[in-house]
Chain A
Amino acid sequence: DTEVTQTPKHLVMGMTNKKSLKCEQHMGHRAMYWYKQKAKKPPELMFVYSYEKLSINESVPSRFSPECPNSSLLNLHLHALQPEDSALYLCASSSPGGVYEQYFGPGTRLTVT
């Protein structure tokens, strides 16, 4: 099973709301990733977790807060977002290290109003 699932598929939130995105995989991968993809642009890496520890944070604003509660789950907590944060948020997983294939989920389409 090479499936990464993400919930919800769509999310509309106001700038004062707090919401969370969820990602799950059951491939035994110990590295998980969050990417942000704006319309008609390539994905941009936000965070990397390796063995449930945050290993890479690509200078993402603090209104995005990642969490990896166990090896299968990855959350992205959202608070006080701006309209320009509207994008497709993609989760991926792989074996740790840089040489392994990343598997992506279908994404959460986020709209900030």
Chain B
Amino acid sequence: KQEVTQIPAALSVPEGENLVLNCSFTDSAIYNLQWFRQDPGKGLTSLLLIQSSQREQTSGRLNASLDKSSGRSTLYIAASQPGDSATYLCAVWGNNDMRFGAGTRLTVKP
């Protein structure tokens, strides 16, 4: 059964810092990995999707990488802003199931 782990569970940084969020998964037989952000009490906003054949994806200040063989993904956020404060979730789709990590709660202080 796929298990997804996110480290750290919480992160607080001053505005302007570059930061890295980590996601690991136990079963490398995945179709894709998707990063989301979730604001309190809200739905999920898709940030980046990396298909299993890809190594990375970029969107604006965000860059996500995937190393399927080692079961790891990272989300790099450049020049963080207070508006980036949210919970960031990674999820993997494999074997007819979508498994989420528990998330990293990010606070960016002005």
Known: A42-B89, A104-B36. A90 touches B44 (CB 8 A): yes
User: Is the CB of A56 closer than 8 A to any CB of chain B?
Assistant: yes
| A43 and B98 alpha carbons, distance in the complex (Å) | 9
- Residues of chain B within 8 A of A55, CB atoms compared: 96
- Residues of chain A within 8 A of B31, CB atoms compared: 97-99
| A41 and B97 alpha carbons, distance in the complex (Å) | 17
Binds A, one of B60-68, B75-83, B100-108: B100-108
The contact string, 1 if C-beta is below 8 Å from chain B, for chain A 80-113, is 0000000010101000011111111111010000
- Residues of chain B within 8 A of A54, CB atoms compared: none
Contact of B42 among A43, A99, A102, A106 (CB under 8 A): A106
Contact of B45 among A58, A104, A109 (CB under 8 A): A104
- Residues of chain A within 8 A of B42, CB atoms compared: 106-107
| A82 and B104 alpha carbons, distance in the complex (Å) | 30
B51 near A99 (CB under 8 angstroms)? Answer: yes
B100 near A104 (CB under 8 angstroms)? Answer: no
What are the 5 tightest A-B residue pairs by CB atom distance, in nearest-first order? Answer: A98-B31, A42-B100, A104-B44, A106-B43, A101-B49
